């Protein structure tokens, strides 16, 4: 019960502080702490403050802690692992076992037909499959 009173008192004290932009990690940590204190708030002013802080934190995290989409190969490998799928089974989806090997090694890009099949059969999001891929060039043997 005492913890609740401290949290309420802290929330009241925080409400007096003006809301400022989040410019660095320290500001981000403070905002997260305050959000935690305001989470169970019932009064309108605290709810409004919680909403504004949440928007600021979300905007800061979108820029500074952005999550990159996986590469198509990483997504295929992840989904294969989830499904317990072998390279041979992937070969059926992409056209042949050798194509599957080339795709997974990064030496072959996905064709439109392969993208459609991977999406339909393995439920891999299209937006992940169509991202530009960096492919490795096959080495040419000296003549």
d(CA 66, CA 139) in angstroms, rounded, equals 35
User: pLDDT at residue 46 above 60?
Assistant: yes
| Joined tokens for residue 26 | 């320290």
Q: How many domains does the chain have?
A: 2
Secondary structure class of 88 (helix, strand, coil): helix
Tell me, what's the pLDDT at 90? 97
Output phi, psi for 68, to 5 deg.
Answer: -80, 140
Residues 82 and 60 in one domain: no
Secondary structure class of 60 (helix, strand, coil): helix
pLDDT band for position 68 (cuts 50, 70, 90) = confident
Tell me, what's the pLDDT at 3? 43
Tell me, what's the pLDDT at 29? 96
d(CA 112, CA 8) in angstroms, rounded, equals 57
Residues 106 and 76 in one domain: yes
Residues 60 and 78 in one domain: no
Higher pLDDT, 128 or 67: 128
User: pLDDT at residue 13 above 70?
Assistant: no
Q: Tell me, yes or no, if the pTM score tops 0.75.
A: no
Q: Note down the domain range covering 116.
A: 72-129
Residues 52 and 102 in one domain: no
């Amino acid at each position: 019960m005492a913890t609740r009173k401290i949290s309420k008192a802290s929330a009241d004290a925080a409400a007096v502080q003006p809301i400022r932009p989040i410019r660095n990690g320290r500001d981000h940590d403070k905002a997260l702490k305050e959000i935690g204190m305001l989470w169970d708030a019932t009064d309108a002013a605290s709810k409004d403050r919680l909403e504004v802080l949440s928007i600021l934190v979300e905007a800061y995290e979108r820029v500074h802690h952005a999550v990159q989409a996986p590469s198509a190969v990483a997504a295929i490998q992840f989904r294969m692992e989830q499904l317990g799928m072998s390279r041979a089974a992937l070969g059926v989806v992409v056209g042949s076992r050798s194509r599957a090997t080339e795709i997974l090694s990064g030496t072959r890009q996905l064709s439109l037909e392969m993208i459609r099949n991977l999406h339909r059969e393995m439920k891999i999001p299209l937006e992940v499959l169509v991202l530009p891929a960096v492919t490795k060039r096959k080495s040419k043997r000296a003549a």
